[in-house]
Chains A and B, each alone.
Chain A
């Protein structure tokens, strides 16, 4: 038996936080832009405000997404940005998924 295990098909290796479809959509969108407000992400992902909010809380807790609040005029706006940790985790996730399907 080889000492080194072939982890190609080990699903537990994949980051489950990103693997969830809604969170994957959020991460994928944030990975291709600099930053966006809550409304833009909601419109692009098609999630409801409550649903998006709860997924963002999980991603923020993991340190994947940076959430900042700004006032544009008198309106409060929530801006979302992928953190360095989030970008690296998303890149790793993509690499792992590619490896699995190779």
Chain B
């Protein structure tokens, strides 16, 4: 009855939108693509094809929410606070994407003195605030864990690359964690489909 319980109710309603495992599948797929990019590069596929592929799992979120979650769980719009934060994340994301065009142009032109390390670091630094804001916006313990796992994978990958420059290193550092998260996401999705079967039209609205 008190404010704390209402906050808890809002949080429970919000977190129910994560029961579908769609974000888990997204993170898993993102890490798996990240794992395969160096392997693809080693067989001659340009990183300008590999890295844009990282955006493709975003389609999974859109399609999954539209065709799986909403017809089963229902549609909900949360309060002003969450909406405002969502707009901030979008705005920062668009600004970061626009700023990234500079380093991408430098890489396309051959980098600084033949090296593209600095432009890639610039891209990573521009993407980091968007990533952090998006994780905070998600406001879910599982997403915090995935974000920490992702950062751990990056550190682990750099460490292993110091020992060997094999393109298969990324399969080890990103791939294993990616598979684990992806499988967990699939399990959540199956559980969600069982818990929320698709309702008849009569059960979804007032006649």
- Residues B80 and A36 in contact, CB atoms below 8 Å apart: no
A4 vs chain B, min Cβ distance (A): 26
Nearest residue (CB) in B for A81 is: B77
Chain B residue total in the interface (Cβ 8 A): 27
Q: In the complex, A97 Cα to B206 Cα: how many Å?
A: 31
What is the predominant secondary structure among interface residues of chain A facing chain B? helix
**Contact among B1, B77, B204, B207 for A77, CB-based, below 8 A:** B204
- Residues A39 and B10 in contact, CB atoms below 8 Å apart: no
Q: Does B75 count as interface, using CB distance less than 8 angstroms?
A: yes
- Residues A42 and B78 in contact, CB atoms below 8 Å apart: no
Interface digits, A70-94 against B, CB 8 Å rule (1 contact, 0 not)? 0010011111000000000000001
Chain A residue total in the interface (Cβ 8 A): 32
Please, could you name 21 A-B residue pairs with CB atoms under 8 Å apart, sorted by A? A28-B9, A32-B7, A34-B77, A35-B76, A38-B74, A39-B72, A39-B199, A39-B204, A40-B75, A40-B76, A42-B74, A43-B16, A43-B196, A44-B16, A49-B202, A53-B207, A67-B206, A72-B75, A75-B201, A75-B204, A97-B1
